[in-house]
Structures are given as structure tokens and as C-alpha cells.
Structure 1
């Protein structure tokens, strides 16, 4: 007649976790297989072996007259990135070195003539710095502001790191008094 310990060991082997209560030395291959099995159980999307690629819609750029450019799907791209339009706007304007604002239909109107390729490159830099996780490259992140610093919190790997503040672009000083005041404050 089998003892209680024998019955318990049989139940453990049938459940697939034959590691509990055992004191034998396991081979590297057995340990590796166990680790990958646990990873696959906890992350079903990993079982296929394919990484989800982050695909972004291209910006729709239209010229308005000869001195302005409209970024038509600005609000939609901000929504896809899960970022506040104010933050994306600040980055775009700083990187392009111009001024602009959103209109009633949530288009971004930028002062100056810009091509789609230029805006696309700036968006790529924004995504690299403020959207994708610096540890696991996942786009599932949250941008949080804590005491004047922005932190990127990853939803996949729970990594948290600070990101660089947005540096404002060049601002021309129009009149002589402002230039003199700036020079005086520097000295």
C-alpha cells in the first residue's frame, strides 16, 4: 500500500511541477526548459516568438499658403502614442525651431514650410525618447511628471527611468532693449 508521501509525489509529477520536494541535482537543460516553460505560461504572446512591432501612421502634412504648414492628423497620432498633445506639441516646436498652435479641428498649424519627411523624423525622435521603453523597447509606457522631472514607466517590464526635459528651440529677440537686457543679465 502506497504511503501519503508517495501519493503526493505522484500528484506533483502529474501536475508537471516535479521540482517541489525533490533534492536531486538537475541538469542545465532541465533548468533551462523549466525557466522557459514558466516564461511561456506567464507571457502567452511570447509563445509565438514574434515581437510586436510598433507601427505609427504617417503624419498628414499640408501646406497652407506659402508660410504655414498644417499637420492634419496631429491629435490622432497623440492618441495612438498615449501622450498629451501639449507635450508632443512642445517637442515638435522645439525641434523644428518654430512656433505653432492647434486649431479648432485639432490640426497643428506650424509657422514655416516643412515637408512630411521632416515632421516624420522629429516624431521618430520623440517616440524613441519619450514613448519606447529604454529597457525592453516596448511602446506600452506611461509618461509621468514628478517634481519637475518626467519619468517613463513601462507597463511590460515595470522599468522606470527619467527622460530628458524638452529644450526650447532658438527664439529670436526682435528689439534692441530686449537684447541689451539679456546681455546685462548674463554679465
Structure 2
């Protein structure tokens, strides 16, 4: 391991000395390449390569007319979000209800497949986890008064995020009555 570090240091010293001993005019592209090489060597996190945010796929199990989301606790822990927030989002978007059982599985009324949950998780991550400025997943969500704010730990930006709308509301009036009222 130390041999590799010594080789890298020797290469860096040789590169620096090659630049110091020459008085020729360098092209813009050569100088720009040198600057970026030095930046990558000294600060690998600033290299500009995109990191993908990888989360384990949801594990869905069917139990009659209900679906069980088995690894919701693990996914919430990886996203650094409270489980109640994600559950509220899922219930609102899916238009259903459910509960958490003793083994931290989310039991949802209705039949939902893994791809449904993947789609919902992507939407949740896009809205409530990923920083809009730098696209980093290293964010914290806080609640001040009635508003939720998301603060990025990478770039320091803060923005308010939309509150999750009310959950499933049963329709008590007939649709024909609603259509007539909307037409007037």
C-alpha cells in the first residue's frame, strides 16, 4: 500500500518538475488539463463526477387483499427520513390506508406491486430527499411552524418543500351532483 502512495507522489513530483523546468508557451487545453488533474488529486470529492443515489428496491409481499412493504424501515434509514413522513406520502399518493405491524412492515390496504412502490419512492426522493441545487442526497428535513424545510449538507442551500396533502378522503356526494355543480 505504501509503495503505491510513493509511486503516486513520485509521479506528482515528476509532473511538477517537468512544468517548472520548461519555458515554452503552453496551450490553454494543456493548462486546463493540468489544473483539473491537480484538483482531482487533492480533492477527489470535487471532481465533478456524478454519484448515483442507490437504495435497495422495495420488498413487497401479498397477503390476500393487502400488501406488505417489508423493508420500509431500512429505506427510511438510508434516506435519513422519518418513517411517518414516507408513510404519509405513500398513503396520500396511493389513496389508501394501512398500518405498521410489529416487525416494522407497512401493511397497505390494496394490491400493490414492487414497481408501484419503486415509482412512488422515486417521486418521494425527487421531491423530499434530493437537493435541487447540487443534486446531492445528503439533506436534512426539518419542520418549522407548519412548513417543512430541506437543508443540503453538501452545498448548504435551504428550500421549503411542499407539505403532503391530506390523505384519502372518501367521496360522500354523488359524482353526477358534483358534475352539475361544476358546470354551473
Q: Same fold (TM over 0.5)?
A: yes
| Unpaired stretches in structure 1, ≥5 consecutive residues | 1-15, 17-27, 176-187
- Given that 1:96 and 1:169 are in contact with CA atoms closer than 8 Å, whether structure 2 keeps it comes out as no
Distance 2:105 2:68 in 1: 6
Distance 2:115 2:83 in 1: 20
SS of the residue corresponding to residue 50 of structure 1 reads coil
Superposed CA RMSD: 2.6
Distance 1:133 1:124 in 2: 14
Distance 1:160 1:44 in 2: 25
Distance 2:41 2:155 in 1: 16
Give 1:98-109 correspondences, 5 Å limit: 98-109=96-107
- Given that 1:62 and 1:70 are in contact with CA atoms closer than 8 Å, whether structure 2 keeps it comes out as yes
SS of the residue corresponding to residue 63 of structure 1 reads strand
User: How far is the alpha carbon of 1:173 from its aligned partner?
Assistant: 5.3
Give 1:53-132 correspondences, 5 Å limit: 53-65=52-64, 67-132=65-130
Aligned residues: 148
SS of the residue corresponding to residue 81 of structure 2 reads coil
User: How far is the alpha carbon of 1:35 from its aligned partner?
Assistant: 8.0
Give TM-score, length-normalised by structure 1. Answer: 0.69
| Unpaired stretches in structure 2, ≥5 consecutive residues | 1-15, 17-27, 174-184
Aligned counterpart, 1:139: 137
Give 1:19-34 correspondences, 5 Å limit: none
User: How far is the alpha carbon of 1:169 from its aligned partner?
Assistant: 3.5
Please identify the structure whose Cα radius of gyration is greater. Answer: 1
- Given that 2:99 and 2:107 are in contact with CA atoms closer than 8 Å, whether structure 1 keeps it comes out as yes
Q: Residues 33, 148 of structure 1: CA spacing in aligned structure 2 closer, same or farther, 3 A cutoff?
A: farther
SS of the residue corresponding to residue 151 of structure 1 reads strand
